[in-house]
Chains A and B, each alone.
Chain A
Amino acid sequence: MYSDQPLLPDALKQAHAAAWQTIARPGDHFTGAERVAFLQAARDSMDCDLCLERKTSLSPTAVAGEHTHDTALSSTVVDVIHRLRSDPGRLTRRWFDSVIRHISPAAYVEIVSVVCSGVIIDTLHNALGNGIPALPPSQSGTPSPRPNPNTVDGGAWVPMLAAERDMADTGLPRVPNIARSLGLVPAALDLFFATFRPHYALRDLPLSITQSQAEFVAARVSALNECFY
């Protein structure tokens, strides 16, 4: 990855390559082939007629139909991935409740982690003019659930990582809610933040732009994606 991008930090390149390999391996609830198919489904969503029609409607629930995809994933899983990739700002609690009638919250968390890690990697490739990278070849093996008993109801839709609420000098808790969000599945939490971490820091940003410039970019992305957090 990024062989022609000398301006990218080596740690970031290594993290993305490692994420690709991690995704290709069996997870807690899905095989390596299924996890790689999540990445493909996320890419398919960008040309999905249903997603495009929903995106331009006043409410995504106003348009019914089938997603365009070329995977063996269930319709529920494909809907989660397409909505997450193409229209994340209009996900709602009632939609989430309808999803977990078909898949467990832990399976949902695993999907979110894989897809969002892939979004970071695909976005950066496209943004640098590289085109999206080839998907990793999946590795064989069976999923092995390793649930985290150390979770709490923290007011999110899913159980969150239990953590002390003491404050850091950034004005945020030492472990902010975003870092607890995928805690139901430790491997999912690890995958996402291993991918994310080389991109950003609350303090001592390891990049050439200032912290304020980075915060403006971050806030602008949040606004474009209609993210409340």
Chain B
Amino acid sequence: MLLRASGEREGRDYDERSVTDPTIDPGVADGAGLRALTDAAIRGEWLELADLRSRSARTLGAQQTVDALVVASAFNGITRVADATGIPLDENTLTTTTAMRERTGIQRFDYLEKSARYDSGI
């Protein structure tokens, strides 16, 4: 997760748990608005997203709203490439994010753990 690395470059400490826990403020500017936009775009909640876009254009800005959706749509594709090819974490990421993966709950997305949960019946 590059949120931490980005925070280190900026001298800020963003809370990575906010990625999986909606009750936690990530600390980035207009984090709640970005989360709402992202969730609606990825879940396909188009009517709600239309309202969110209007609201976000007034708070975050029209250009920033579009750009947030540009990033969200890209990652809706690239996460599927990763999941479909079973690529391992890069070595440095694997060794430096162990605690973060446990803290945020994303360790449960590990391929072996998914196999244990979902493979019965194949």
Contacts and interface: CB of A to CB of B under 8 A. Distances in A.
Contacts of B67: 7, 207-209, 214
Given A120-B74, A178-B78, A178-B87, A211 B6 contact: yes
B95 to A, nearest CB: 11
Given A123-B72, A124-B73, A165-B91, A181 B19 contact: no
Interface residues of B, number: 78
Q: Secondary structure at chain B's binding surface: helix, strand, loop or mixed?
A: helix
Contacts of A88: 79-80, 83-84
Q: Secondary structure at chain A's binding surface: helix, strand, loop or mixed?
A: helix
A158 B50 contact: no
Interface centre among B78, B88, B117 (most CB of A within 10 A): B78
Contacts of B88: 154-156, 177, 229
A57 B38 CA distance: 24
A225 B42 contact: yes
Interface stretch (A20-28, A134-142, A143-151, A196-204): A196-204
Contacts of B82: 178, 181, 227-229
Given A167-B92, A215-B6, A221 B70 contact: no
Contacts of A106: none
A157 B71 contact: no
13 contacts: A93-B115, A120-B77, A129-B49, A172-B92, A207-B67, A207-B70, A209-B68, A211-B10, A213-B34, A215-B5, A217-B68, A221-B75, A228-B110
